[in-house]
Amino acid sequence: MPQLYAEVLLPLPLYSTFTYRIPEEMVDRVKVGFRVIVQFGTKKFYTGIVTSISPIAPEGFEVKEIKMLLDDYPIVKYPQLKFWDWIAEYYLCAPGDVYKAAVPAGLKVESETFVELNSDFEENPDDRLNEREIIVCQLLDHNGKMTPAEIERKTGFRNVVALIGKLLERGAAMISEKLVERYRSRKETYVRLTAQQGDSDALHAAFDAVHSAKKQETALLALIEMSGITRKGGEVKEVSRTELIERSGVTTAIIKAMADKGIVEIYKKEINRFKYNGLVGGELPKLSEAQNQALDEIHKSFLEKDITLLHGVTSSGKTEIYIHLIDYVLRRKEQALYLVPEIALTTQLTRRLQRVFGEKVLIYHSKFSDNERVDIWKRMLNTSEPCIVIGARSSIFLPFSNLSLIIVDEEHESSYKQQDPAPRYNARDMATVLGSMHSAKVLLGSATPAIDTYYKATSGRYGLVELTERFNDVKLPEIEIIDMTVERKKKKVDGTFSERAITLANEALARDEQVIFFLNRRGFAPMARCKQCAWVPKCLNCDVSLTYHKHLNQLVCHYCGATQPLPNVCPACKEPGVEIVGYGTERIEDQVEQIFPNKKIARMDLDTTRNKDGYENLIEDFSKKKSQILVGTQMVTKGLDFDGVSLVGVINADALINYPDFRASERAFNMLEQVAGRAGRRNTQGIVAVQTTNPNHPILLNLVNHDYKSFYTSELEQRQAFNYPPFTRLIYIYLKHRDISTLVELAAIYGNRLRELFGNRVFGPEEPTISRIQSLYIRKIMLKVETNASMKKVKAILRELYENMHQHPRMKGLIVYYDVDPM
Ligand code: ADP
Ligand code: ZN
Ligand code: ZN
């Protein structure tokens, strides 16, 4: 066998792969896409992925050996590796970053620090171990290797790390790196008869053995019946212990007793965690004429264009059209991917799809446990069976083998974009890349398409299908603009509610209809302030004012999570008088409780939906009308389908409109139109009450007419005038440093060098709105490049610049990263 070398991709933000020697015994087993354990640095071990194999020995440095081979089949397919490269190239990040984001943690064995006793250690009589240290040593002696966390748990000692440090210093303990495989396959306990099929003597013996034990006899009968062992020629079915207990009503102790007698055998078996919850496949929904026509147009469009936009007003029944497309794909024994912007949306949708496609529906997102994700990954890897995967953005990384359709629902949503950490990718855009790699068709759907998408659709890059009527001809809601300046003058405002909004809500509630109040700010109040001197408490790590959360009775930083108590006395002027200002959803909920005392109220925001089922329960209760009023952040705007809502109140439209960003108008219009779409979905025309101090703002005028196209046209003019996307491509370059003066200096140098290279395409450095997060100061440089510029070239220039900059003595400690196509 010739000596071979593998290029290994590590889950680290490094721009290259690393070469490792393949040990002789692995030479004919290691292949591209296999996971290997390699050492990187002096201590750490990582799971790497083999990206290529070559007989050429690298020169000029020592090559380490692969330590371990984890797979006997590739866990990542070759096209996926190409897809990762593509993403890394486009988003100016390391392929290792993409690998980290793409593969569930359970497939990436990690090294963890382990502590063990040093058996050669002799205690120094002048420096004896104290009592706590002795306890830890005894524990280590007993257990062998342990992690600090385990030691902490077993001893109940706090700050064990320091104690371990002392033991290490003295040589009493040692650190060792042990590999920990995180993924645990799920095992279930099964029970089988020891008697072979057809061996009636053995069966008789079994009955004799349980003769005087009634319960054992019952269990034996049940097991025979369930396994079908006495059925002639039939297959013997495996029976799980749980099923057996359910059927026979005996306890595990009874089964254990039978095992002790040698009648049955208890064994464990690995099962796939993917569980189907029992809904069976059913009929396709019947489409309306308009829907049928749209479906037809989509099929036609796909003959010419790989990517097509379905622009269908809210409640036009886009989901029903998707279902027909998916059905078409499944019938051809192919796979489809259905991307949704929020995990939260999968629940309603999953049920709708399962009703039609039964167990062909798979779900994949980050609230699933890692083990569940690994199971789905492996399942996708090992089969090309037809299926439909519903997933949030990370599902574009699944190992599809037979993908022929990708649906990106609510394609305008900014949550398709991963903000932090790298890769800062947009799953919608990468879905189109994935689609082209698989020769799959991509359907983007939205009632309010992103400006960029609509531009591509109207300029011929994408196909375009429009669906202008709502299902069942329900009218689009009437928009009523409430001028808060006028209302306040007339003293018709209660807290933050105008009298008019309250009247409308009361009318709806009196008709037994439901109401949604929307405010895009969580917490109780966005800010606290001293009445005397206007002092505002800010996060110690970030440059942001703290949000007051009443249920916690704390000030919370929404950027880093740090908390502080609300001070009674102002630390600046020493006067008591710190008050809270403004409104968040928590406070709105409080107010709503006072204004509508006999109504049941639910609140939906990040704080009420943190645990896995929180969101589901809220939606369930509201659709079952257990609550009449729902208060929420933008979470309530996204594709939810409630049929009892006739009024949506937008508490403060100004906060949406006045946001300092070139996409603010787009986002505001989308959000308002989407939240409006929640009103009056089935039989009645709904009303949307929009509170604003800016009633003549063009966005609101377009909203009143539900006029997406006018909005689009004027917005596009703005973008062209100021050279923003879709006319250019933006790259933000972020620079972060702990020390402000170093940062300012380096950012200026960076900006100047960039200007030498890119000329007037460079803007900044500027201080972003939030100029410090988690103790790091931030500067931002904006690069506007032509849309047809080669990202490869841009990347090469930026990399070279970065490397040159490293010669600067103060570069150490500077963090530089890029955000391509920022949202
Ligand atoms: P969109 O996603 O376009 O906002 P949905 O697909 O959620 O709209 O449809 C809105 C409502 O109309 C849903 O309650 C849906 O069940 C119903 N609906 C739409 N099309 C049909 C159809 N063809 N048959 C029965 N109900 C439909
Ligand atoms: Zn903070
Ligand atoms: Zn003060």
Q: Which of 303-317, 646-660, 693-707 has the lowest mean pLDDT?
A: 646-660
Give me the percent of the chain exceeding a pLDDT of 70. 94
Binding pocket residue ranges, ligand 1, CB within 6 Å: 285-288, 291, 312, 314-320, 471, 641
Smallest CA-to-CA distance from 495 within 580, 379, 619, 622 is with: 580
Q: What is the mean pLDDT of residues 157-170?
A: 74
Q: Whose CA is closest to atom 5 on ligand 1?
A: 317
Q: Which of 142-151, 286-295, 811-820 has the lowest mean pLDDT?
A: 142-151
What pLDDT score does 455 carry? 97
Mutation choice for ligand 1 from 315, 353, 466, 645, CB with most ligand atoms inside 8 A: 315
Q: What is the mean pLDDT of residues 414-437?
A: 95
Q: What is the pLDDT of residues 688-739, one digit of tens each?
A: 999 999 999 999 999 999 999 999 999 999 999 999 999 999 999 999 999 9
Q: How far apart are CA 567 and CA 571, in angstroms?
A: 8
Ligand 3 centroid vs 491 CA: distance in angstroms?
Answer: 29
Ligand 2 centroid vs 605 CA: distance in angstroms?
Answer: 20
Predicted confidence band at 383 (pLDDT cuts at 50, 70, 90)? confident
Smallest CA-to-CA distance from 777 within 814, 807, 811 is with: 814
Mutation choice for ligand 1 from 641, 645, 674, 683, CB with most ligand atoms inside 8 A: 641
pLDDT of 281 above 60: no
What pLDDT score does 287 carry? 94
Give every CB contact of residue 164 below 8 A, 6+ residues apart in sequence. Answer: 115, 136, 148, 151, 173
pLDDT of 595 above 50: yes
What pLDDT score does 639 carry? 59
Q: What are phi and psi of 627, to 5 degrees?
A: -120, 150
Q: What is the pLDDT of residues 55-66, one digit of tens each?
A: 988 887 789 999
- The whole-chain average pLDDT of the chain stands at 88
Instruction: Give 121 or 137, the one with higher predicted confidence.
Output: 137
Ligand 2 centroid vs 777 CA: distance in angstroms?
Answer: 12
What pLDDT score does 599 carry? 92
pLDDT of 765 above 80: yes
pLDDT of 761 above 80: yes
Helix-strand-coil percent breakdown of the chain, rounded to 5?
Answer: 40, 25, 40
pLDDT of 310 above 90: yes
pLDDT of 279 above 50: no
pLDDT of 100 above 80: yes
Q: Which of 600-614, 648-662, 700-714, 751-765 has the lowest mean pLDDT?
A: 600-614
| 652-657 contact pairs (CB < 8 A, 24+) | 652/496, 652/519, 652/583, 652/691, 652/692, 653/690, 653/691, 653/692, 653/694, 653/700, 654/692, 654/693, 654/694, 655/519, 655/520, 655/521, 656/520, 657/692, 657/694, 657/697, 657/699, 657/700
Residues around ion ligand 2, judged by CB within 5 A, are: 539, 541-542, 557, 559-560, 562
Ligand 2 centroid vs 376 CA: distance in angstroms?
Answer: 36
pLDDT of 325 above 80: yes
Q: Which of 157-161, 334-338, 354-358 has the lowest mean pLDDT?
A: 157-161
What pLDDT score does 197 carry? 82
Ligand 1 centroid vs 315 CA: distance in angstroms?
Answer: 6
Q: How far apart are CA 386 and CA 46, in angstroms?
A: 34
Q: How far apart are CA 388 and CA 363, in angstroms?
A: 8
Predicted confidence band at 112 (pLDDT cuts at 50, 70, 90)? low
Predicted confidence band at 812 (pLDDT cuts at 50, 70, 90)? confident
pLDDT of 183 above 60: no
- Beta carbons of 321 and 477 less than 8 angstroms apart: no
pTM listed for this prediction: 0.80
Q: What is the pLDDT of residues 782-808, one digit of tens each?
A: 999 998 888 888 888 998 888 888 777
Smallest CA-to-CA distance from 508 within 710, 626, 646, 313 is with: 646
CA distances from 530 to 200, 310, 539 (A): 88, 51, 16
Instruction: Give 709 or 347, the one with higher predicted confidence.
Output: 709
What pLDDT score does 179 carry? 52
According to the per-residue pLDDT averaged within each range, which of 222-236, 319-333, 615-629 is highest?
319-333
Q: How far apart are CA 71 and CA 30, in angstroms?
A: 9
CB neighbour burial string for 675-689, b if at least 16 within 10 angstroms, e if fewer: bbbbbbbbebebbbb
pLDDT of 181 above 60: no
* Residue written as token pair 């370059």: 733
Ligand 1 centroid vs 636 CA: distance in angstroms?
Answer: 18
Position in ligand 1 atom list of the atom nearest CA 313: 3
Position in ligand 1 atom list of the atom nearest CA 316: 3
What pLDDT score does 271 carry? 60
Smallest CA-to-CA distance from 754 within 722, 779, 723 is with: 779
What is the number of H-type helices and E-type strands within the chain?
A: 25, 35
pLDDT of 119 above 80: no
pLDDT of 51 above 80: yes
Could you give the angle at the alpha carbon of 106 between the alpha carbons of 100 and 112, nearest 5°? 85
Smallest CA-to-CA distance from 742 within 713, 700, 776, 704 is with: 776
Ligand 3 centroid vs 533 CA: distance in angstroms?
Answer: 4
Q: What is the mean pLDDT of residues 208-236?
A: 86
Q: What is the mean pLDDT of residues 573-589?
A: 90
Q: Whose CA is closest to atom 10 on ligand 1?
A: 315
Q: What is the mean pLDDT of residues 175-184?
A: 54
What pLDDT score does 751 carry? 92
Instruction: Give 617 or 417, the one with higher predicted confidence.
Output: 417
Q: Whose CA is closest to atom 1 on ligand 1?
A: 315
Q: What is the mean pLDDT of residues 404-424?
A: 94
Smallest CA-to-CA distance from 316 within 291, 352, 351, 346 is with: 291
pLDDT of 311 above 80: yes
Half-sphere exposure of 568 (CA within 13 A, CB side): 0
pLDDT of 114 above 90: no
What pLDDT score does 275 carry? 46
What pLDDT score does 278 carry? 45
What pLDDT score does 276 carry? 43
Q: What is the mean pLDDT of residues 240-248?
A: 88
Q: How far apart are CA 385 and CA 146, in angstroms?
A: 43
Q: How far apart are CA 564 and CA 238, in angstroms?
A: 57
Predicted confidence band at 246 (pLDDT cuts at 50, 70, 90)? confident
- Beta carbons of 516 and 648 less than 8 angstroms apart: yes
What pLDDT score does 682 carry? 64
Ligand 2 centroid vs 773 CA: distance in angstroms?
Answer: 6
pLDDT of 486 above 70: yes
Mutation choice for ligand 1 from 319, 345, 444, CB with most ligand atoms inside 8 A: 319
What pLDDT score does 186 carry? 60
SS3 775: coil
